[in-house]
Chains A and B, each alone.
Chain A
Amino acid sequence: MNIIETVRLHKRYKDLTAVEDVTLEVREREIFGFLGPNGAGKSTTIRMLATLTRPTSGTARIDGHDIVRQPNRVRQSIGLVFQETTLDERLTAAENLLFHGMLYNVERRALSRRMAEVLELVDLTDRREARVKTYSGGMKRRLEIARGLIHYPRVLFLDEPTVGLDPQTRNRIWTFIHELRIRENLTIFMTTHYMDEAEHCDRIAIIDHGRIVALDTPANLKKMVGRDLITLRTPFRKEVMLFVEDKFGLPVQETGEYLQIEVSGAESFIPVLAGELGGRLHSISLHKPTLDDVFLKLTGRGIREETADAWSVYRTHMRWRR
């Protein structure tokens, strides 16, 4: 069953089109990633789905409820963790959860049980009476996720849940997210611009300038860009090139002082290659296709300029040329 369905969702702000023609379906219990650079329209899409902004045109249904005509139904069935923190820092963690539960009309006794449960889930039980002011960034994020879960939502929207957090905390939050899906029977719709995080998703929509440019599983998306790339450094380039082409029937590309070979299953090919060429090689390096490459291929840009350093752009261009 599809728990989220959008049909040609559109949002225009004056002369700027923030979201254009977004049509997608999210299945129940899926972790669905929305991946795109700054300003791509990720938050705008979430705001529309969460009934905070009306779409200029198009429709969407969440758990069977229309986002424009049944906003309260939609609100009751979603949890939302905004990109910016929306906790009340002067209140304690418990109070933040309590007020949320009251706003969502969770019955009092069930609420205190639920509060204990979600705090346990995000590992904040011992800080429950502390003011949120005294929390670290990662703790706040976890508390917000806990708060989003209080009213037993069917879908949890996470807008960049791990931005600004250190790698350990990010990993931890990911562990929670995976656990949640199992324990709470949740569907998770999240945005990110961290490529490595997108790997956690079952499916990913890549969005750029408000449009979805690709939508598939991470593995399939990576297949789009091609196979693994082995780069060899050797003083005997001509010789090695002929040998590889002869013996394995693989085309070899010479780029400067490097040789590049494109294969699938490079992990098992490298030992064979090394066995055959032995001492003639100075180094072997392997590049597996990443979502960065996918993004680069689809948009011609790195998702964040700093990740698309000159070498990877060059290398990737070499590959697209063929």
Chain B
Amino acid sequence: MTVALKAVYTIWLRDVIRFYREKTRIVGMLGQPLLYLLIIGTGLSYSFRMPWAQGELSYLEFMYPGIIGMSVLFTSVFSAVSIVWDREFGFLREVLVAPVPRWSVAIGKALGGSTIAMLQASILILVAPFIGVKLGPAMVLKLLGMLFLIAFSLTSLGITVASRMETMEGFQMIMNFLVMPLFFLSGAMFPLRSVPPWMETLMRADPLTYGVDALRHIMYAGTPARELAVQFPLATDLAVVSGMSLIFITAGTLAFNKTE
């Protein structure tokens, strides 16, 4: 067991060090969500009306949790896809021949990706006061916990997909057919109400929907906006995201078992 935990730690540490070494990746990763928040948030808030919010919630406030969810999504999946690099450049083989269980490799990878995603999310949380979202320390802790769960499930999903990918060329496919739909269907940009039923079904099938919903629960707690903006009970959100984490990390481990 200690061997496995040590392996989880090793794989995690390597991912974090590699991230820290890549200055351009850091800049891009931290800059991108701020840019989105600024441009999309500000731009859309002038043309996007939310009659259902009854003036309790500005569009910027509405989409702030969505932007956090988005950056966690992008970063998680992107980190997971690095296993394709690991495979191409051989590091994965070195790990797979070590006397450690495969699940510890999958979990280490998932934790590595989650950590990086959390770093990014933390930066976004820091700008909350500038958007008019008030967050207390307890709230921040709850948010971080939730974000971690979301990041973990999404990284695991990414690992499952990436471990079947042969080359980096598949990355574009993942972006187009996995990441973008997950993002747009998550309710990050527009709420789940007043969409056609087929779309609502899709939105309900998107794990990120529940993640973003949970973030809204936590962020708007105690304000009238909460009842207006959330779509599911918090317990449902938590159950779904936790369930997804479990399912995806299992799938990721199984996928690792298949790789040679």
B91: A residues at CB distance < 8 A:
86-88
The answer to whether B6 touches A87, judged by C-beta atoms less than 8 angstroms apart, is: no
CB distance from B27 to the nearest CB of A (A): 17
CB proximity of B259 to chain A, nearest CB, Å: 10
Please tell me if B134 contacts chain A, counting CB pairs below 8 Å.
Answer: no
Majority secondary structure, B binding face: helix
Pairwise interchain contact A103-B7, C-beta atoms closer than 8 A: yes
Interface string of A49-86 (1 = CB under 8 A from B): 01111000000000000000001110110001010111
CA distance A47 to B18 in the complex (A): 28
**For the complex, is A269 an interface residue (Cβ under 8 Å from B)?**
no
Q: What distance in Å separates the Cβ of A18 from its nearest Cβ neighbour in chain B?
A: 13
Is A102 close to B, CB under 8 A? yes
Q: Known A102-B9, A105-B6; judge A52-B18 contact (CB<8 A).
A: no
Binary flags per residue of A143-181, CB closer than 8 Å to B gives 1, else 0:
000000000000000000000000000000000000000
Which residue of chain B has the shortest Cβ distance to A76 in the bound complex?
B99
A209 within 8 A of B: no
Give the B interface residue count (CB, 8 A): 24
CB neighbors of A among B91-147 (8 A): 91, 93-100
Interfacial residues, chain B to chain A (CB-CB below 8 A) = 2-3, 6-7, 9-10, 13-14, 17-18, 21-22, 89-91, 93-100, 260
Q: Which residues of A have CB within 8 Å of B98? A: 75, 100, 103-104
Question: In the complex, what residue of chain B is closest to A83 when comparing beta carbons?
Answer: B90
Contact A85 B90 (CB under 8 A): yes
Q: Collect the chain A residues with CB atoms within 8 Å of residue B260's CB.
A: 47, 52-53
Cα A179 to Cα B95 in complex, Å, equals 27
27 A-B residue pairs with Cβ-Cβ distance under 8 Å, sorted by A, are A51-B97, A52-B97, A52-B260, A53-B260, A75-B98, A75-B99, A76-B99, A80-B97, A82-B93, A85-B89, A86-B91, A88-B14, A88-B89, A90-B18, A91-B14, A91-B17, A95-B14, A99-B10, A100-B94, A102-B6, A102-B9, A103-B95, A103-B100, A104-B99, A105-B2, A105-B3, A105-B6
* A95 B17 Cβ-Cβ under 8 A: yes
**The 8 A-B residue pairs with the shortest CB-CB distance in the complex, in nearest-first order:** A86-B90, A75-B99, A103-B98, A102-B10, A86-B94, A72-B99, A76-B99, A105-B3
Q: A95-B17, A99-B10 are in contact. Are A84 and B96 (CB under 8 A)?
A: no
**With A52-B260, A91-B18, A102-B9 given, is the CB distance from A84 to B97 under 8 Å?**
no
A36 to B14, CA, bound (A): 37
What's the dominant secondary structure at chain A's contact region?
loop
In angstroms, how far is the closest chain B Cβ from the Cβ of A156? 13
* B105 shortest CB reach to chain A, Å: 9
Q: Which residue of A lies closest to B100 (CB)?
A: A103
| Residues of B contacting A103 in the complex (Cβ-Cβ under 8 angstroms) | 6-7, 10, 95, 98-100
A267 within 8 A of B: no
Report the tally of A-B residue pairs with Cβ distances under 8 A: 65
Q: Closest residue of chain A to B92, judged by CB?
A: A86
A89 within 8 A of B: yes
Could you tell me the distance between the alpha carbons of A82 and B89 in the complex, rounded to whole angstroms? 12
Q: Which A residues are CB-close (under 8 A) to B95?
A: 103
| Complex-state Cα separation, A84 to B89, whole angstroms | 8
A128: min CB distance to chain B, Å: 16
Q: Which of A52, A90, A100 has the most CB of B within 10 A?
A: A90
- The distance in angstroms between the C-alpha atoms of A91 and B100, with both chains bound, is 21
CA distance A102 to B8 in the complex (A): 10
Complex CA–CA separation, A72 to B4 (angstroms): 12
In the assembled complex, which residues on chain B have CB atoms less than 8 Å from the CB atom of A88?
A: 14, 18, 89, 91
* A-side contacts of B13, CB under 8 Å: 99
Measured in the bound complex, the distance between the Cα atoms of B98 and A18 in whole Å is 24
Are A87 and B90 in touch, CB under 8 angstroms? yes
Additional pairs, 16, CB under 8 Å, beyond known A88-B14, A102-B9: A82-B93, A84-B90, A85-B90, A87-B90, A88-B91, A90-B21, A91-B14, A99-B10, A99-B14, A103-B6, A103-B7, A103-B99, A104-B99, A105-B2, A105-B6, A105-B99
- Distance A82 CA – B251 CA, assembled complex (angstroms): 28
- Within 8 Å CB of A52, what residues of B? 93, 96-97, 260
Minimum CB–CB distance from B1 to chain A (whole Å) comes to 11
Output the nearest chain A residue to B4 by Cβ-Cβ distance. A105
B10 contacts A86, C-beta separation under 8 Å? no
B214 CB, nearest partner CB in chain A, Å: 35
Give the residues in chain B near A82, CB-CB below 8 Å: 90, 93-94
A231 to chain B, nearest CB (A): 47
Most chain A beta-carbon neighbours within 10 Å: one of B14, B22, B94: B94
